[in-house]
Homo-oligomer: A and B are copies of this chain.
């Protein structure tokens, strides 16, 4: 990670200076357009993909094969311009972008808890991919239920609206892709 311009810290004035990341690889999936792509990993278990980690980072995969599930952190590089309020796929009303999982975020970073199938060198076969083919990969973290499974009863507007089989359409896709 390279922090450009000033270093950001607690006593600095400009805590929002730009930060640059360099993808560590990419994700190969069956989805070339948003239309028809699963909207979440939990609805995509039948969709398999390959996480390709650039050779220079492959040593970082040591011991990863011993996990059932991984968080993929990635750049949603074909999202439309950010919108502060959106009508997401599972709703028919507008909500603040930070109260949704829509791609139209100010920083279009996605997190997906995919299921690990096999590690083959610098390639990880996974199930539950819900991102477009060629998506730039920023990070991989092990999914650890003690860390990631926490109580959350109130789920806002999602209440009563969660259902299987919903896929994306083009509403949050960048024009011209």
Tally A residues with Cβ within 8 Å of B.
93
Q: A65 — nearest CB in chain B belongs to which residue?
A: B156
C-alpha spacing A70/B96, complex, angstroms: 13
Q: A61 — nearest CB in chain B belongs to which residue?
A: B96
Q: Mark A97-141, 1 if CB is under 8 A from B, else 0.
A: 111110001111101010100000000000000001110101111
C-alpha spacing A157/B144, complex, angstroms: 11
Q: Do A24 and B16 touch across chains, with their CB atoms under 8 A apart?
A: yes
Interface residues in A55-76 (C-beta closer than 8 Å to B): 57, 59-64, 66-71, 73, 75-76
A12 CB contacts on chain B under 8 angstroms:
134
A3 CB contacts on chain B under 8 angstroms:
75, 77
C-alpha spacing A133/B57, complex, angstroms: 30
Q: Do A109 and B106 touch across chains, with their CB atoms under 8 A apart?
A: no
> 5 closest pairs, A vs B, by CB?
A10-B134, A62-B96, A66-B156, A69-B152, A98-B140
Interface residues of A (CB under 8 A from B): 1, 3-4, 7-12, 15-26, 28, 32, 40-42, 53-54, 57, 59-64, 66-71, 73, 75-79, 82, 84-85, 94-101, 105-109, 111, 113, 115, 132-134, 136, 138-158, 162, 177
15 residue pairs A–B, Cβ–Cβ below 8 Å:
A1-B75, A1-B106, A15-B23, A16-B23, A16-B54, A16-B136, A18-B22, A60-B84, A60-B106, A113-B150, A115-B150, A142-B156, A143-B150, A143-B152, A145-B155
